[in-house]
Chain A
C-alpha cells in the first residue's frame, strides 16, 4: 500500500476544544476560589486604611513584640533542625540498626499528631509542676513552659520531618561511587562528606529549612498551650492575631496576618526556586 493511499484513508480526528479546556478550567477555578481570593481579601482588608494604618497596627508594642518573638524562635528552631534533621537523615540512610524501619515511620508522626496534642505533651513534660520542668527551673533557672524555650521546643517537634524528608531521598539516590572514588584518592571521611556529599545536600537542606521556617511562622495550636497568651512575653504573632480577632480589632488581625503571610510566601517562593535549581544540578 502506498503512502498516498494511507493518507487518504486516515483522517486526523479533531477533538473539541470544550473537552480540552473544561478540565484545566475546573482546576484553575478551584485554585482561584480557594486560594487566591482569600489571600487577596486579606491584602485588601489589611490595606483598608492605607499603608500608614497598616504600619500603625504593626508597630503597636504587643504586635511588634509578637512578630519579633515569632521570627527569632522560628529562626532558632530552623538552625537546630537543620543540623539535627540532616544528621538524622544521614544516620537513617547510611547505617543499619535494629528498629530502623519503625523509627523511620515515627519521623512522620509530628505531621499527623494534632499540634494541640503536641502542646499538651510538652506541658506534661516540662510544666513547672512536673519533675523535668521544676528541675530545669531550680537548677538552671530556665522556665520552659510559658516562655520562649517552650515555643522553640514545640516548633522543633512540629517541623522535625521537614528537613529529614527533604535530605533523605537525596542521600538515598546518591551514587556512592563518588564517595568511594574519593576514598581511593586518599580523602578522609570528613573530607569526603564535606567535599563530595555536602554539595548534593545544600539545596535540599536549604529548602527543608525554609519550609520548616514557613511552617513555624504560622504555628498556633501547640504554642497557645505551651506559651500561653502573655503579651510582650510569650505571645507569638499567630496568637496575637487570634487575640485581635477575639477583641474585634479586625484591622490589627489582618495587618499582622499580612506580615506573616509575606514572610511565609517569600520563603515558599524561594523554596520553589531552590528545588528547581537542585533539579538542574542533580
Chain B
C-alpha cells in the first residue's frame, strides 16, 4: 500500500470538513478524489501533504507514519490549481529548487532538470520566467517541479481547473502518460467527472466531508450504491420502486431482483437507477416488447453532438416516486431522461409536445436505501432551529428530506417553506415538498401512510406537546427527532438502553444515523438499586459490550457506562456533565390498546432535560408485540423507559 488514510477527521469551527475518511491506495495507482466544491477533497490533499493539521486519524505513506511529520519531511510532490510557480525564478530554477534544498550537486541537478524538461515537452525553455509562459506550460513546469525530488506520492489539486478546454484535454493526456511512465502513486482532486473517468484507476466520491463510495469509474457509473453517487455521475433517472418476492416493481414494470442479497434494510422500498441510455422511446406500445413504463409527453429536446437527449414527462404511477431528475414543486409526475443515437432520432423524429411510449430495458437497484426525513413546516416558534438541525443532519447523513407543509393558513408559512427549501437545497437531493390541509398529526399520518419515512423531525415545546408527539409516534413506524431550540451538530450522543431486544434496536438505529455525523456514542444502563446487583451488572456488561462492538463495526467510536440508582436521576446527571448534545431514548412499547403512551419515565426524562435534542427510537419490536407479550422476557431494568 502506498497511501493509507485511517479515519481522518478535520473540523473547522466544529463542523467536520473531512469526516472519518479511510482509504487505501495501491502503489502506482492513479486515484481521483471527486466531489463538488466544499466536499473536503482538497482538505484531504492538504492533510496528506501536512499543509493542514488534522484533528484525528493517521496517515501512512509507503508504510511510514507521517501523521505528525512536518510537510518538509513527507516527501510528497504537490501541484496546485494556480500553478504556484516561484515568480522570480526561471523555469530551470523552479524545477531545480527542491534539489538545491537537498544540496544535490549542480551537475546532477542540471541533468535531472533537463530530463524533466524533456519529459514535459519543454526542452530549451529553462531560461524563461513563469510570466512568459502560457497557463498550460506553467502547469507542466509545476508538475516537473513536483517530480524533481522523486516524491513518494504525487498530489494534484485540480491541476487542470484553471485551463481552457482544449489545453485541458492535451494536458490530461500527458498527465496520464507521465504518471504511467514514472509509475508514481498519484491522487488527483477534481470536480470534473469527465476528467475523473478519463484519468482514474479508481475514484472516490466525496460529499460534505464524507467518502461515499470508492470504485473503478465503470463500476461507479453502472453500479453506484448511493443516491448521491448515482445522480452525481452522469445523468441519471432515479426513482423509488417496490421490491417483493425476488422482483422489482416500477409501476407496471417488473425486473428480476438481482441485488437482493446486497440490500439489507427495508426490503419494500427500493431505489432504482436507470441511465438515459437504458430508456427506449417508441411511437407504439408493441415496439417496446415487455418493458413499458408509460405514455408521456416530450418536454425538452437538446442536441449534444453525438447524441440527442429527450426529456419525457409521464403521469404519476401508483407506487412509484420520482427522485431524479427533480420534479416540480409538489408534483407527482415522473420525469425520464433518455438519449438516442442519430439513427434512432431519424427513424422516429420527435419534437417538444409529442407523445411517446417510454420503455426501460435495464435497471440497477441501489444497495444503500438512504435515510428519509419528514420535516413538517409550519409557523411554530422553533421552526428555524428545527430546519437548521434537520438540514445539517440530512446533509451529513445523505438523507432525503420531505417538507410537509400542513394546515396552511397564512403567508408567513410560504416564506418559511421557501427558506427551508433554500437551506435544505444545498448539497442534498432536491427536497420533496408536499402540502396538506390538516392538523400536524393528521398531515403526518396521511403522509407516512402513503410514503413511510425513517425519521420525523419536530420542534419541541415540552409545555404542550405530549399529546401531539404521541399521536405522531402512533401514526406510523418512524422515529422521532425532537428539537427544543438552537442545537449544534450532534457529536456526542447519550443512549440510555435497557437490556433486551428493544435496546438493540435503539443502538442500531442510533448507529445508522449518527455514524454519518462522526459522532461518538455512549451507552448507559441504569440498574435499580434494589436489583440483584451482581447478576444484573454482568448481564448489563455483556449486553453493552455487544452494543459497543455493533457500533464499532459501523465505524463509530462508542463506549458504555453502568450506573446504579434511579434511571431519571442518573440520566439527568450524565446529561448535566455537559459532554453530550443529543439524547436517544427508546420509545415505550405500545400498551394493550396498541397505542404508545409517553406517560411515565420517557416523558419525565424529556421534561427534565428539555434543552437537549432528543431522538425517540421506535423499536421494531412494536411490530412484533404479540410475540413479545407471550415471551414476557423483558427484564425490568429501566422498564419505565420501555
Contact = CB atoms under 8 A, between A and B. Distances in A.
Given A184-B77, A187-B72, A188-B72, A177 B82 contact: yes
B84 A181 contact: yes
B102 interface: yes
B49 A184 contact: yes
B86 A178 contact: yes
B95 to A, nearest CB: 10
B78 A178 contact: no
B51 interface: yes
A200 B102 CA distance: 24
Interface string A185-213: 11110010001100110000000000000
B88 A181 contact: no
A186 B101 contact: yes
Interface string A148-185: 00000000000000000000000000010110111111
Contacts of B88: 199-200, 281
B80 A182 contact: no
A184 B71 contact: yes
Interface residues of A, number: 18
Given A185-B97, A281-B88, A180 B51 contact: yes
Interface centre among B72, B74, B82, B146 (most CB of A within 10 A): B72
Given A181-B145, A191-B101, A186 B72 contact: yes
Contact of B102 (A182, A186, A199): A186
Contact of B80 (A177, A195, A199): A177
Interface in B53-82: 70-74, 76-78, 80, 82
B560 to A, nearest CB: 39
Interface string B133-165: 000000000100110110100000000000000
B322 to A, nearest CB: 44
B84 to A, nearest CB: 4
Nearest to A184: B78
Interface SS majority for chain A: helix
B98 interface: yes
B420 to A, nearest CB: 35
Contacts of A195: 86, 97
Given A185-B145, A186-B98, A186-B101, A196 B82 contact: no
A184 B102 CA distance: 12
A183 to B, nearest CB: 4
Contacts of B108: none
B82 A184 contact: no
A187 B101 CA distance: 6
A175 B130 CA distance: 15
B189 to A, nearest CB: 14
B538 interface: no
A184 B146 contact: yes
A128 to B, nearest CB: 50
A175 B51 contact: no
A182 B78 contact: no
Interface string A56-89: 0000000000000000000000000000000000
B163 to A, nearest CB: 16
A203 to B, nearest CB: 11
B87 interface: yes
Contact of B86 (A182, A191, A281): A182
B103 to A, nearest CB: 10
A184 B79 CA distance: 10
B98 to A, nearest CB: 4
Contacts of B145: 181, 185
Interface of B: 49-51, 70-74, 76-78, 80, 82, 84-88, 97-98, 101-102, 142, 145-146, 148-149, 151
Interface of A: 175, 177-178, 180-188, 191, 195-196, 199-200, 281
Given A180-B49, A181-B78, A187-B72, 8 more contacts: A177-B82, A178-B86, A180-B84, A184-B146, A186-B72, A186-B73, A188-B72, A196-B86
26 contacts: A175-B82, A175-B84, A177-B80, A177-B82, A178-B85, A178-B86, A180-B71, A180-B84, A181-B84, A181-B86, A181-B142, A183-B51, A184-B51, A184-B71, A184-B72, A184-B78, A184-B151, A185-B145, A186-B72, A186-B101, A186-B102, A187-B97, A188-B72, A191-B101, A195-B86, A196-B86
